[in-house]
């Protein structure tokens, strides 16, 4: 896997859990989200109540899991995390809900993937702090209601549009996370470099932030790879990540000044050469570039759209003039295709 933007949590990330900010103050960027959230947290704490259920939507790697952990820490509450595919049966969910402590934070990642039977149990738990539990079988079966502790559900998703209305409506707080500003990414890179005890020149920080796709996770991963290049290929011998190292490193990883990877460019080039610039349906496009549709929609498209290379229209995906320009395809070649 040569991609820097995949959302998967890798073994390497696991080792670097210390990179995760632990408090809202350490969480950089996303100013309006942070301000509002800190008010809601303080208010709930003053009342001695659990925070209202919180919905977080946005592309992978923007810190949704990190933020959920921070909410628990700020609420001084216990934190439990799982993801929807792990909650296969109602009993999986019931097992967690009945073991929660009062006012704890329960995080479900990929909440758009919950099965309907599990989702139904969650509705009642969110609203009434109870679950329906069926005991016995056949004609002797009966349902009992079990009281569960008050808790804060934090649901995260990359696909807000796929979350069922009745589920979404039970969240009292909802934030859509956006890609980070370059200035905030610079701060995140400097913070990470400090924790990793790596020295990075200001020019290198700026260049990395530009290529980090507005995503802290990508920024941190790129920094780690540049640290490798600096250590092995650096001329200075002290492992400093310089702008020159970053230029060379990004070149070797085929990441351009917009943060586009090879597959991003392949997506744009495919739409141009095979579909005349589009529109082309997402499924057809995914097959053409040999990627799963999920990763196309979750990892690649949001950034291409945000940077103005791609448009989503009712008839499918279309490239913009900027894509032609970036791939250096002249108008003549366009019509010649």
Could you list the active site residues? Answer: 64-65, 109, 158, 217
* Contact present, 106 and 155 (Cβ < 8 Å): no
60 binds ligand ATP (CB under 6 A): yes
At residue 292, φ and ψ (nearest 5 deg) are: -70, 145
The only residue of 71, 188, 286, 329 in contact with ligand ATP, by rule CB under 6 A: 188
* Contact present, 113 and 65 (Cβ < 8 Å): no
Q: Rounded to the nearest whole angstrom, what is the least distance from the CB of residue 215 to ligand ATP in the complex?
A: 8
Identity of the residue, 4 or 275, whose beta carbon is nearer to ligand ATP in the bound complex: 4
62 binds ligand ATP (CB under 6 A): yes
Radius of gyration, alpha carbons of the chain: 23
Q: Rounded to the nearest whole angstrom, what is the least distance from the CB of residue 66 to ligand ATP in the complex?
A: 4
Residue 206, both tokens: 């700026």
Question: What whole-number distance in Å separates Cα of residue 70 and Cα of residue 44?
Answer: 15
Residue 226, both tokens: 């540049």
Question: What whole-number distance in Å separates Cα of residue 14 and Cα of residue 17?
Answer: 5
Candidate segments 16-24, 93-101, 120-128, 290-298, binder of ligand ATP by CB under 6 A:
16-24
220 binds ligand ATP (CB under 6 A): yes
The only residue of 4, 5, 29, 222 in contact with ligand ATP, by rule CB under 6 A: 29
36: enclosing H helix or E strand: helix 31-47
121: enclosing H helix or E strand: helix 116-128
Candidate segments 57-65, 75-83, 271-279, 284-292, binder of ligand ATP by CB under 6 A:
57-65
Candidate segments 20-28, 71-79, 204-212, 275-283, binder of ligand ATP by CB under 6 A:
20-28
Q: How many residues bind ligand ATP (CB under 6 A)?
A: 20
63 binds ligand ATP (CB under 6 A): yes
At residue 56, φ and ψ (nearest 5 deg) are: -120, 120
27 binds ligand ATP (CB under 6 A): yes
Residue 260 DSSP code: -
Question: What whole-number distance in Å separates Cα of residue 70 and Cα of residue 54?
Answer: 13
Q: Which residue is nearest to ligand ATP (CB)?
A: 63
> Which residues are at the interface with ligand ATP (CB under 6 A)?
7, 13, 19-21, 27-29, 60-66, 156, 188, 216-217, 220
């Amino acid at each position: 896997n040569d991609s820097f933007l995949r959302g998967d949590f890798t073994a390497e990330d696991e080792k670097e859990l210390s990179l995760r900010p632990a408090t809202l103050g350490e969480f950089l960027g996303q100013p309006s989200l942070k301000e509002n959230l800190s008010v809601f947290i303080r208010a709930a704490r003053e009342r001695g109540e659990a925070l209202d259920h919180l919905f977080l939507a946005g592309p992978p790697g923007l810190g949704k899991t990190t933020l959920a952990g921070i909410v628990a820490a700020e609420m001084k509450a216990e934190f439990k995390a799982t993801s929807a595919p792990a909650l296969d049966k109602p009993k999986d969910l019931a097992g967690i809900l009945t073991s929660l402590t009062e006012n704890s934070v329960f995080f479900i990642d990929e909440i758009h993937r919950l099965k309907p039977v599990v989702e139904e149990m969650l509705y009642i738990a969110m609203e009434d702090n109870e679950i329906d539990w069926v005991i016995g079988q056949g004609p002797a079966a009966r349902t009992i209601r079990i009281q569960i502790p008050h808790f804060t559900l934090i649901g995260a998703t990359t696909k807000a549009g796929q979350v069922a209305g009745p589920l979404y409506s039970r969240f009292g707080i909802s934030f859509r996370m956006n890609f980070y500003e370059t200035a905030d990414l610079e701060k995140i890179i400097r913070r990470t470099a400090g924790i990793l005890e790596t020295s990075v020149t200001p020019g290198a920080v700026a260049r990395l932030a530009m290529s980090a796709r507005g995503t802290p996770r990508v920024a941190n991963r790129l920094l780690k790879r540049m640290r490798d290049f600096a250590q092995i290929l650096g001329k200075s011998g002290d492992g400093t990540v310089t702008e020159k190292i970053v230029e060379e490193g990004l070149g070797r990883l085929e990441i351009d000044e917009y943060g586009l990877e090879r597959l991003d460019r392949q997506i744009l080039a495919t739409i141009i050469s095979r579909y005349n610039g589009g529109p082309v349906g997402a499924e057809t496009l995914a097959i053409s570039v040999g990627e799963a549709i999920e990763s196309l929609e979750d990892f690649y498209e949001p950034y291409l759209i945000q940077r103005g290379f791609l448009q989503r229209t009712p008839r499918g995906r279309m490239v913009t003039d900027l894509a032609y320009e970036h791939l250096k395809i002249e108008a003549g070649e366009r019509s010649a295709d």
